[in-house]
């Protein structure tokens, strides 16, 4: 089974039909639900997604959406020394890369997985490192 790392924007796009590439993000959620792919996320993903949910949705709807995301049972990984070292290398190699973005990418490299992002700027800065695709190019 192929493993993917989803940056938080992919999760957010899958929650909101008004987002660009919503349909593609929905396909990813279906693939997760049907166990066609495995997803690994940094353990802080919940904070990023909760930040979005709390701004956009009423409390009850936001809670429901968050519980639904948790039901997908993403595998989570804490930042370890190996990941931190890789994050620093990515930031040094690919100027202007934020630590959050570099963390997702570092995990993909270390886990021999593929990062899916909707952030074309990040993609263009880091595509030479491989292990990354744009959301619009998913299947």
> Using CA atoms, how far apart are residues 10 and 12, in angstroms rounded to an integer?
5
Average pLDDT of span 43-50: 93
Walk me through the domains of the chain, giving residue ranges and CATH numbers.
2-137 (3.40.50.1010)
Average pLDDT of span 35-64: 95
Q: Name residue, tokens 């990354």.
A: 132
pLDDT of residue 139: 83
Query: For the chain, what percent of residues have pLDDT higher than 90?
Result: 94
Q: Is the pTM of this model over 0.85?
A: yes
pLDDT of residue 63: 97
Determine the distance from the C-alpha atom of residue 113 to the mean position of all C-alpha atoms in its chain, rounded to a whole number. 12
Q: Does the pLDDT value for residue 136 go beyond 90?
A: yes
What would the pLDDT profile of 97-135 be if each residue is shown by its tens digit? 999 999 999 999 999 999 999 999 999 999 999 999 999
What is the 3 state secondary structure string of the chain? CEEEEECHHHHHHCCCCCCCCHHHHHHHHHHHHCCCEEEEEECCHHHHHHHHHHHHCCHHHHHHHHHHHHHCCCEEECCCHHHHHHHHHHHHHCCCCCHHHHHHHHHHHHCCCEEEECCHHHHHHHHHHCCEEEHHHCC
């Amino acid at each position: 089974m192929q493993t993917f790392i989803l940056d938080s924007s992919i999760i957010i796009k899958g929650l909101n039909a008004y987002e660009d590439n919503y349909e593609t993000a929905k396909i990813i959620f279906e693939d997760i639900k049907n166990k066609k792919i495995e997803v690994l996320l940094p353990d802080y993903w919940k904070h990023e997604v909760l930040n979005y949910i709390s701004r956009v949705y009423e409390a009850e709807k936001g809670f429901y959406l968050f519980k639904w995301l948790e039901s997908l049972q993403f595998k989570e990984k804490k930042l370890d020394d190996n990941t931190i070292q890789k994050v620093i290398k990515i930031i040094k190699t690919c100027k202007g890369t934020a630590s959050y973005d570099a963390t997702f990418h570092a995990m993909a490299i270390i886990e021999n997985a593929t990062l899916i992002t909707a952030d074309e700027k990040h993609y263009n800065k880091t595509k030479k490192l491989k292990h990354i695709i744009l959301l619009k190019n998913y299947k």
